[in-house]
Amino acid sequence: MGGVHNRTVASGDRANGGRRISQHISHHSTYVAGCTVTFSYPRYLEAKRTVDDRARHPRVWTAFLEAVSDIAPENPERPLRVLEIGAGVGDLATKILDELESEAIDYTVLDVNADNLDRARERMGASLDMEATQSDGVVATPGRSHRIRFVKDDIASFANRDREEVDGRIYDVIVGQAIIDILPTHISLRIIRSLLAAGGLAYLPIHVDGLTEFEPTVNHDMDDCIMNLYHDTMQRVYSIDESWKLDPSDADGSNSDPPDGAGAGNETVSVQSDGARCGRDLLVYANGAGFEIVDAGSSDWLVRPDPTTGRYVGQEDYFLSCMLHFVEDALSDNGSIDDSQLEDWLARRRRQLEDSELMLLVHNLDVLLRQRSP
């Protein structure tokens, strides 16, 4: 069923995974309710919020909040330090800052994309009563004194720099939603570990795990073929400082710290991400990368019209149109499928969307990890 269609992604250039590759062509068109509308990556992320909020696994979320509340009193003299990687337009950051009980939090919102960060600043400003400048935000309300730092950077470069500047291991909590699959999972985990304080937590929700289905069936064979090819395109090639490229078979955690000089060299190497296996690979590689799994659970996306109104919730029709756009962008002109067959399939799916019949099911996993003491 078609080969793997790798595209080289320059470090930090582009979002990951088949469902997020279109960030770099942010002005292509897509279709909602029969109208042609401009594709915008920040708008896609905003439309995704209701889908993610429904999907996140409630027990893992509660375990996350409880585990954080155990950490905070250990260091009463300083704020809780949280880093969110690939934070997009800031919706999860807002939810976390809303729900964590800590009085003082330093929250770093990191994303490689400036448009997403601009939207994050605006949206967080509006929902959190935050005063924002270009790079910082402050929430000073009764019982809350939070500082929010907005950083435009690539995760690996950020990790290299932060480690050099402050000897690494500085965050109590690292959050990353739908982001780990930009790199091979064991490398993402090593990068996260290199930035975590001893006993620190990594909350990693909504990681794709092997199933994307549009319903109802258009044509069984064509549906399967297109979804399999689409998953193949999620395996991306990424260039990274060669010192991060460690052996994934190092399962005992003995190499879980980066080697001396990691990040300091100028040599880059190409690595291939695990694509649609990302969710389960977080569980497979956690131990070898020096983490214990605190909890894990499914966080499937299920998008369908609300049965009472017959309409999609919020902006979820736009979200679905973006998902079709991602499939189109991943598979058009890449030689794996006849373009006219793909166009026909997309046209039928878009008609289903216009008629409020289209459904989407994506299997994802949420994982909560704690760094094991060395």
| Interface residue list for ligand SAM (CB under 6 A) | 12, 15-16, 20, 23, 45, 48, 85-88, 110-113, 116, 154-155, 177-179, 182, 206
Minimum distance of ligand SAM from residue 174's CB (angstroms): 12
> For residue 117, how far is the Cα from the chain centroid?
14
State which residue, 20 or 277, has the beta carbon closest to ligand SAM: 20
State which residue, 176 or 225, has the beta carbon closest to ligand SAM: 176
CA gap 94, 97 in Å, rounded: 5
Minimum distance of ligand SAM from residue 57's CB (angstroms): 14
State which residue, 45 or 124, has the beta carbon closest to ligand SAM: 45
Minimum distance of ligand SAM from residue 336's CB (angstroms): 23
**Any idea what DSSP says for residue 168?**
S
Minimum distance of ligand SAM from residue 175's CB (angstroms): 8
State which residue, 31 or 326, has the beta carbon closest to ligand SAM: 326
State which residue, 299 or 371, has the beta carbon closest to ligand SAM: 299
Minimum distance of ligand SAM from residue 53's CB (angstroms): 11
State which residue, 182 or 246, has the beta carbon closest to ligand SAM: 182
Minimum distance of ligand SAM from residue 167's CB (angstroms): 22
Sequence-separated (6 or more) residues with CB below 8 Å from residue 312: 303, 304, 305, 306, 320, 356
Long-range Cβ pairs for the range 293-296 (8 Å, 24+)? 293/367, 293/368, 293/369, 294/63, 294/67, 294/201, 294/368, 294/369, 294/370, 295/59, 295/60, 295/63, 295/367, 295/368, 296/57, 296/60, 296/365, 296/366, 296/367, 296/368
Rama region for 78: left / alpha / beta (φ>0; ψ in -120 to 50; rest): beta
State which residue, 75 or 270, has the beta carbon closest to ligand SAM: 270
> Is the distance from CB of 370 to CB of 199 less than 8 angstroms?
yes
Tokens of residue 228, six digits: 């399999």
Minimum distance of ligand SAM from residue 338's CB (angstroms): 29
State which residue, 155 or 202, has the beta carbon closest to ligand SAM: 155
> For residue 108, how far is the Cα from the chain centroid?
15
- Asked whether the bond before 216 is cis by omega within 30 degrees of 0, the reply is yes
Minimum distance of ligand SAM from residue 19's CB (angstroms): 7
Residue at 214: amino acid letter: F
CA gap 320, 326 in Å, rounded: 10
Residue at 97: amino acid letter: L
